[in-house]
């Protein structure tokens, strides 16, 4: 059984090779003359020389090559008007309360109370939520939220 399968495989391979060779010869064969064979045999005069064989021009499969297109700068879209920012809630509503201010020489600290605990702060220190101590003076502590203008958190009344 294996011998028959091997023979069939070899015969099929040989037939495919023969078909490929025949196709190659057909594709590369010179173009046939336009005159019928009967007219060629009946004339004794010298035939005019055959025109030179024209090369076949195959159309490009993927289109004609094009030069690269110049790069165009994208147009800048006009910025859409942004809605006004919502006002931020007062610092006291965030739970912060100023308990006291301590001054020792050139340094000044503030005691700030919050439901999570009390903290001793000085200028430049940061709290939760992007709040930074801008300055500390007798009136209270000035806090800046997200880089905005500083707001005063004064002593409770």
Q: Which domain, by its residues, includes 116?
A: 93-154
Residue 15's pLDDT is 98
Inter-residue long-range contacts of 129-137, CB under 8 Å, 24+ positions, other chains counted: 129/94, 131/91, 136/101, 136/108, 136/109, 136/110, 137/101, 137/108
Return the half-sphere exposure (C-beta side, CA atoms, 13 A cut-off) of residue 143: 24
Residue 39 lies in a domain: no
Task: Count structural domains, the chain.
Answer: 1
Residue 119 lies in a domain: yes
- CATH number of the domain to which 116 belongs: 2.30.30.830
Residue 137 lies in a domain: yes
Residue range 37-73, pLDDT digits in tens? 555 555 556 667 777 767 777 777 888 888 888 888 8
State the average pLDDT for the chain. Answer: 84
Q: Which residue has the higher pLDDT, 15 or 87?
A: 15
The average pLDDT across 82-110 equals 86
Rounded Cα–Cα distance for residues 101 and 118 (Å): 13
Instruction: Evaluate if residue 34 carries a pLDDT over 60.
Output: no
Residue 123 lies in a domain: yes
- Confidence tier at 75 by pLDDT (50, 70, 90): confident
Q: Which helix (H) or strand (E) segment is 152 a member of? A: strand 151-154
Residue 6 lies in a domain: no
Neighbouring-strand partners of residue 104: 107
Q: Which helix (H) or strand (E) segment is 69 a member of? A: none
Residue 57 lies in a domain: no
Strand ranges (DSSP E) for 8-146? 97-104, 107-114, 117-121, 126-127, 131-137, 140-145
Which tokens belong to 107? 């340094």
The average pLDDT across 8-17 equals 98
Residue range 118-155, pLDDT digits in tens? 999 999 999 888 889 999 998 899 999 888 888 888 88
Q: Are strands 126-127 and 107-114 parallel, antiparallel or unpaired?
A: unpaired
Residue 105 lies in a domain: yes
Residue 82 lies in a domain: no
Residue 72's pLDDT is 85
Residue 11's pLDDT is 97
Using DSSP, state whether 153 is helix, strand or coil: strand
Instruction: Evaluate if residue 86 carries a pLDDT over 90.
Output: no
């Amino acid at each position: 059984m294996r011998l028959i399968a091997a023979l069939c495989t070899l015969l099929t391979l040989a037939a495919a090779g023969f078909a490929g060779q025949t196709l190659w010869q057909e594709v590369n064969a010179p173009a046939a003359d336009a005159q019928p064979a009967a007219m060629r045999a009946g004339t004794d005069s010298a035939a005019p020389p055959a025109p030179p064989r024209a090369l076949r021009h195959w159309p490009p499969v993927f289109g004609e090559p094009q030069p690269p297109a110049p790069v165009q700068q994208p147009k800048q879209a006009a910025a859409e008007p942004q809605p006004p920012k919502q006002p931020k809630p007062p610092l006291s509503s965030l739970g912060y309360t100023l308990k006291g201010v301590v001054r020792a020489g050139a340094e000044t600290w503030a005691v700030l109370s919050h439901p999570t605990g009390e903290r001793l702060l000085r200028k430049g220190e940061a709290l939760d939520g992007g709040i930074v101590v801008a300055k500390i003076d007798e009136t209270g502590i000035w806090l800046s939220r997200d880089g905005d203008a500083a707001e005063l958190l004064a002593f409770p009344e």
